[in-house]
Chains A and B, each alone.
Chain A
Amino acid sequence: MSQRRGRATSLASPTDEYGPLGDTNPRSVILAVSAAEPEEASPAERRALQRRAKADAQAAKKEAKAVARAAKQGRPVQATLKALPKASKASTRSKALKQRRHLYFSDVVATATLGPRSRPVRALLSAIGIGIGITALVAVLGVPASEQATRRAELDVWGANVIEVLPGQDRQTYEAIPIPDTAPEMVARIRPVRAAFTIRSLPDGTYAYRNDKMSAGESGGITVLVGEGDPEGALNAVLAEGRWFDEATNDFPTVVLGATAAQRLRVGIGQQVWIAQSWWAVIGIFDPLPRYSRTYDSAVFLAPGWAKTLFSSEEMPIQSIEVNAVSGQAPAVRSVLAATVNPAQPSGVKVSSLSDLAYSQEQEMATFRRLALGLGAVALLVGGIGIANTMVVAVMERRGEIGLRRALGARTGQIGLQFVLEAAVIGLVGGLIGIALGAYAVFCYTAYGSRVFAIPLWVLPAGPAMAAAVGILAGLYPSLKAARQPPTTALRTV
């Protein structure tokens, strides 16, 4: 491509002296130079140039025509071009100059990562701010997603058909309205009810002990209740050992323990516990219950038949009735439950289902979400400022590099792009850190409550993309500064 000429002068020996061109007077030297050297193209050269330009214009016209013809006739354009006379060298060169050449993609990446690669600690530190923001974002989205996934998994196991009946309150006096004793029997009569489990509470101060020598203070958070009906059918409560009360055991002092209660009392099947001044035989122990009935893990259930011989029905009011409807019939059952439980005062009955529970949880989650989103936004903002700061410093430090690149032929846009992309890379790294940390936070949350781990899939690309966008925004001003730096001032710095 270079049309070179050999050097004009060759030197014989290094002892040669310089001689002024014509005159010794400095002023006239210049005159001498201009007199001696052609300052302009000679007329012949000029004519040649004009001829060349004309020929080029004609060649270009011919080319355009030929291409158009080829396109019309469906001939390959490349072959058509080869057949045409070539434009002169000078014009191809000026064409080459006009062409806006782009860097190879690998070079775009290499130049954009040059800064972070040579100062990794700084890049990492400024990425952390963004990282925290994305962490918060992932947590905010991951925790509710995990909750939902957990609930869905539980619904599968536990049944979407569990309804809970609780004593209500009088609307005016706020007095508790007890559930009538007849309720369990009535509920069992509703046709689409598959199973029901009635839980009664006992007078305050009814505790369970390992033996009769322990004081009242050592009850260890164990609740004593009376359980009647079908806990397996209603709550999906599975017995780890032994059996639930049957006709034979119902009328004897027998108990079934929740998993936690059995652990705390350190008793097994066939052993006895001390409750209400008498010994009760353990005939069954539950597995840990599904999550929404986990409070019963620390309960001791007395055989209802024997309990009735010790307590009056006023002393053991109904605390709740767990109802499991036939699949798909839950709404129907729900609509008639209140009137069935208390025909005299249906408004005095509280009926709730798993979906209600989910709703209240969602409410709690919304508060948490707003808080975390706010935190995330602040972290992103601070992170963005951090990146902007890093980039401003980088642009100042690398003035020499910027000037050099301009001298090497970089366009202002290429310099700007290099720094914008560098900021984007820092943001991206922060985003990836954020995804990792956020996922870990959600994982810890789910591991703690034996929940199902879930993160919305779209977060995985969106998090880093958002971080990169913040990086770009933060890098815009410093990059513009870098691009606008005149190469001469950039190169003057030491």
Chain B
Amino acid sequence: MNTTPPPSTAQIALRHVNKIYPGSPPLHVLKDVSVTIHKGEFVAVVGPSGSGKTTMLSIMGTLDQPTSGEVWVDGVNAAEISEVERSSLRSDVIGFVFQQFFLLPSLTAVENVAEGMIYQRIPRAERRSRAFAALEKVGLSHRAGHRPGELSGGEQQRVAIARAIAGDPHVLFADEPTGALDQTTGHMIVDYLRGIADTGTTVIVITHDAGLAAGFDRKISVLDGEIVRDQRRRQPGSAPSPAPARLQPLGVAR
């Protein structure tokens, strides 16, 4: 087994990850998936329904464990740390955004955002100021006192994004964040996610929408539990080139 850590530029690395759901017959959802996602990348994961995108994202985000293979998050092997540490990893390093928003209906927008930081043990006052700052980033500071029931779908998803980024994660996972929204709103959400990626956060987004996927730096296509295509956007005027070469630490030869 290979237990060498991935390069320090790697945010997430899967190595020969398999996920098999027991049953008869057992369901082989991820088949020997290996992929490295580098710090600061803005990645789209595409693929047909049931191809294993959500499963892959859950494993990357330590919400689920692979049947075999290695998962490295932020330089840490997820299998080598305890459940307590994995929880801390989720609270400090990882942010999640889901299709169904999962906002708490009885809390206001700013309270929902602040709730995202309680497991980080950030003091109340600081939580609140950071929640306001995060809402500002998604252009919703004027709706801070409203409950989810009083917000549009797009606004609710922006609140969820604010909650995911308020804790200052290194990597943000979004599972079909635009799935419940119309196309225009979907584009707006992707723009906000891009803005987050521009500040240096790694952002990995599952999307069904081919039109939306066009806006990303890298597109990973999943089919039937395998990565069948991994493309980077062409640099203007240059041939398709593996961008990560530029991410390697200077002076380190391979």
Contact = CB atoms under 8 A, between A and B. Distances in A.
- Whether chain B is bound by chain A comes out as yes
Contact of B90 (A8, A9, A401, A409): A409
Interface in A1-40: 1-2, 4-9, 11-14, 16-22, 26-27, 29-30, 32-34, 36-40
B158 interface: no
A172 interface: no
Contact of A8 (B41, B107, B240): B41
Contacts of B107: 114
A400 B146 CA distance: 21
Most buried by A among B63, B170, B198, B214: B63
A39 B234 contact: no
Contact of A491 (B2, B75, B98): B98
A40 B231 contact: no
A493 to B, nearest CB: 8
Nearest to A35: B242
A90 B106 CA distance: 39
State which size class the interface on A falls in.
35 or more
A432 to B, nearest CB: 22
A410 B106 CA distance: 20
A486 interface: yes
Contacts of A486: 64
Contact of B5 (A49, A409, A488): A49
Given A41-B5, A106-B124, A406-B90, A7 B42 contact: yes
Given A18-B231, A33-B230, A6 B200 contact: yes
Given A6-B200, A41-B7, A408-B116, A20 B217 contact: no
A17 B219 CA distance: 11
A13 B38 CA distance: 22
B106 A117 contact: yes
B189 to A, nearest CB: 16
A152 to B, nearest CB: 51
Contact of A410 (B35, B61, B119): B119
B90 A408 contact: yes
Interface stretch (A96-104, A141-149, A358-366, A455-463): A96-104
Given A4-B170, A39-B13, A409-B90, A19 B102 contact: no
Contacts of B6: 38-41
Given A406-B90, A407-B61, A8 B119 contact: no
A45 B85 contact: no
26 contacts: A1-B168, A2-B170, A4-B201, A8-B247, A9-B232, A9-B233, A13-B236, A19-B233, A19-B239, A21-B231, A22-B242, A29-B230, A34-B34, A40-B6, A41-B8, A45-B8, A46-B5, A96-B92, A98-B82, A101-B119, A114-B106, A117-B106, A405-B119, A407-B98, A487-B63, A488-B58
Query: Nearest 10 A-B pairs (CB), nearest first?
Result: A409-B91, A19-B240, A36-B242, A118-B106, A4-B200, A409-B119, A7-B40, A404-B102, A18-B231, A19-B234
Interface of A: 1-2, 4-9, 11-14, 16-22, 26-27, 29-30, 32-34, 36-42, 44-46, 49, 90, 94, 96-104, 106-107, 111, 114, 117-118, 400-401, 403-412, 414, 486-488, 491-492, 494
Given A5-B9, A20-B230, A33-B242, 5 more contacts: A8-B244, A39-B15, A39-B36, A101-B91, A408-B96
